[in-house]
Amino acid sequence: MKVLGISFGRKNKNCDILVKQALFAAQEAGAEVKFINTMNMKISHCTGCGACSKLRDQGKQIKCVAIKDDYLELENEILNADGIIVGAPVYSIAPTGQLKNYIDRFGAAHDRAAALAEQDKRIKAGAEELLDPRVLADKYVAYISVGGAKTPDWVSMGLPNMHMFGMSTVMKTVGQIDAYNMGTAVSPILEDELMEQTAKLGKHLAESIGKPYDQVEWLGEEGVCPVCHNSIITIGKTTEVLCPLCGIHGNLSIEDGEVKVTFSEKEQNRARNTLEGLTEHYHEIQGFI
């Protein structure tokens, strides 16, 4: 069982400390662990060149090879891992751009619904090159968002955006931590409760690996959306609401002065981080030129 910790923060600073704390706990729970700090890695942004789709059409591996930088090294480590702990600093209320650069180049090229359809086609055609089986393997992920602000108000898009990391490959998110207030706390090491919570997350990740997704328990705040456990909800003029992260519709009501948001089982099952949700999108974009 391999657990990879990735920090998008400064070397030896807050994200590094928290990711390593989770890794130590995963190691104690029996995982083989590895740590990567990406701060000095060159991960350029996706240029939309379509090279990954061309490789697909030529029957080769679908991956971003057009830009020669450190992306492929990180991708390889992620594909080798069974579980991943991602720690990212909040810059301008969302995770640092380096993480988004990685997600854009990884996600579309490794979309699980598209990969399954492609693999099926290749098997039926007796193709020479099948897709890397690591792209189709189940993986488990935990997120740690780190912010300097005293209140959660300035880290609001941190954790929700981090979820895009495992979305397209249908990784199972086992839990998350919103470590804001680092400006006042000075270092996570001085925050016993946070360090304890982070160790719990690392242990929980290691213990979740290999379980059927529907048997994995969530570790963290429940949130409003029962699928992603975040609390960003889009509200229009009716009582229908949307979880913009999962892409699922729910209903808002006020009962005894309390706001209630509910999502049907059917909607929950078509969330973007499920194979059903991704397959729906795969068919939706088939007609695109």
Ligand X SMILES: Cc1cc2nc3c(=O)[nH]c(=O)nc-3n(C[C@H](O)[C@H](O)[C@H](O)COP(=O)(O)O)c2cc1C
CB 202, min distance to ligand X, A: 17
Of the candidate spans 83-91, 120-128, 205-213, 250-258, the one that interacts with ligand X by CB under 6 A turns out to be 83-91
User: Of residues 89, 160, 175, 226, which one binds ligand X by CB under 6 A?
Assistant: 89
Q: Amino acid letter at 5?
A: G
For residue 44, the minimal CB distance to ligand X (Å) is: 19
Pick the piece of the chain touching ligand X (CB under 6 A) from 89-97, 163-171, 191-199, 216-224. Answer: 89-97
Work out which of 43, 146, 170, 243 binds ligand X, going by CB under 6 A.
146
Residue 154 neighbours by CB under 8 Å, 6+ apart:
90, 93, 147, 148, 180
> Segment contacting ligand X (CB under 6 A): 6-14, 47-55, 190-198, 263-271?
6-14
Specify whether the CB–CB gap between 44 and 166 falls below 8 A.
no
Per CB under 6 A, does 282 bind ligand X?
Answer: no
Interface with ligand X includes 149 (CB under 6 A)?
A: yes
Contact between 40 and ligand X (CB under 6 A)? no
* Phi, psi for 221 (deg, rounded to 5): -65, 145
Of 182 and 225, CB closest to ligand X: 182
**Which H or E element spans position 185?**
helix 182-185
Q: Is 287 helix (H, G, I), strand (E, B) or coil?
A: coil
CA torsion angle for 121, 122, 126, 130 (degrees, to 10)?
A: -160
The answer to the question of residue 182 lying near ligand X (CB under 6 A) is yes
3-state DSSP call for residue 173?
strand
Give 240's Cβ-side CA count (13 Å radius).
Answer: 4
Rg of the chain (C-alpha set)? 19
CB of 84 to ligand X, least distance (A): 17
Asked if residue 184 binds ligand X (CB under 6 A), the reply is no
93 counts as binding ligand X under rule CB under 6 A:
yes
Binding test (CB under 6 A) with ligand X, winner from 40, 58, 92, 215: 92
Binders of ligand X in range 239-258 (CB under 6 A): none
Helices 275-284, 112-124: crossing angle, 10 deg rounding: 70
Nearer to ligand X, 30 or 183 (CB): 183
Q: Which two tokens stand for residue 226?
A: 């029962």
Q: Residue from 13, 34, 200, 249 that binds ligand X (CB under 6 A)?
A: 13
Cβ burial 12-46 (10 Å sphere, 16+ → b, else e)? ebbbbbbbbbbbbbbeebebebeebbbeeeebeeb
Exactly one of 1, 60, 70, 148 binds ligand X (CB under 6 A); which one? 148
User: From the CB of 37, what's the least distance to ligand X, in Å?
Assistant: 9
Among 90-98, 219-227, 245-253, 272-280, which window interacts with ligand X (CB under 6 A)?
A: 90-98
Cβ atoms of 224 and 261 within 8 Å: the answer is yes
14 binds ligand X (CB under 6 A): yes
120 contacts: CB under 8 Å, gap ≥ 6:
none
Where on the chain is the footprint of ligand X (CB under 6 A)? 9-10, 13-15, 89-93, 146-149, 154-155, 180, 182
